[in-house]
Amino acid sequence: MDSVRSDTAPVPQALKILVAGGFGAGKTTLVGAVSEIAPLRTEEVLTTAGVGTDDTTGVATKTTTTVAMDFGRITINPSLVLYLFGTPGQNRFWFLWDELATGALGAVVLADTRRLADSFAAIDYFEQRNTPFVIAVNCFDNDQRYTAEQVREALDVDGHVPVLLTDARDRMSVKNVLITLVEHVLTMVRSTVPA
């Protein structure tokens, strides 16, 4: 009988969340900033073999890239745990997205205003699959800042999709993005359930 739990503590609800976006947007950084465990990373060094394949415009100092996924975990409260799966940003690794997306409740599309057009593929992906998502604009130190509404207009996303300004390096900023996503998912679910 040792395997029977003696306490009545509830088992936390586990939710799978994707973190997607373009090459160099900060997905690995975001997962690492908020994960309460040492994140799993599949980073490889960019080599000359990628010249002509990997567009490093705007991210010329980037030296590594995710080739499969990033994984982290964060406990929002005692009854809710989020499992974060960061997707690779390069086109040549997009075949992994379908596997990573299986069972996902929602997604964060991390946008980099230096390469905003790179966000369209992730937005299209989640829209086509009716997966709730939020857009988190990663605000880098020395880059031009845009308002959330300017980014919404540039990306042409529906008004119900939350657009937030964030810093992928800051734990509290990222946690706010994840809480907003969970609230957005709940709103979407409630709107589809008959009264």
Per-residue pLDDT tens for 127-160?
A: 999 999 999 999 876 666 789 999 999 999 999 9
Topology of domain 13-192 in CATH is: Rossmann fold (3.40.50)
The position carrying tokens 């406990």 is 75
In the chain, domain spans: 13-192
Give the pLDDT mean for 3-22: 75
| Beta carbons of 108 and 134 less than 8 angstroms apart | yes
What's residue 1's pLDDT? 45
Cα 192 to Cα 11: distance, rounded to the nearest angstrom:
26
Predicted pLDDT at 56: 55
Please, are residues 25 and 138 in contact by the beta-carbon 8 Å criterion? yes
With a cut of 80, say whether residue 161 has pLDDT above it.
yes
Whether the model pTM is above 0.85: no
The pLDDT value recorded for residue 76 is 80
Q: Is the pLDDT of residue 125 over 60?
A: yes
pLDDT of residue 41: 64
- HSE-CB at 127 with a 13 A cutoff on CA atoms is 13
- Looking at per-residue pLDDT, the higher value among 176 and 40 belongs to 176
Q: Is the pLDDT of residue 166 over 90?
A: yes
**CA–CA gap between residue 184 and residue 106 (Å, rounded):** 9
Model confidence at 82: pLDDT above 50: yes
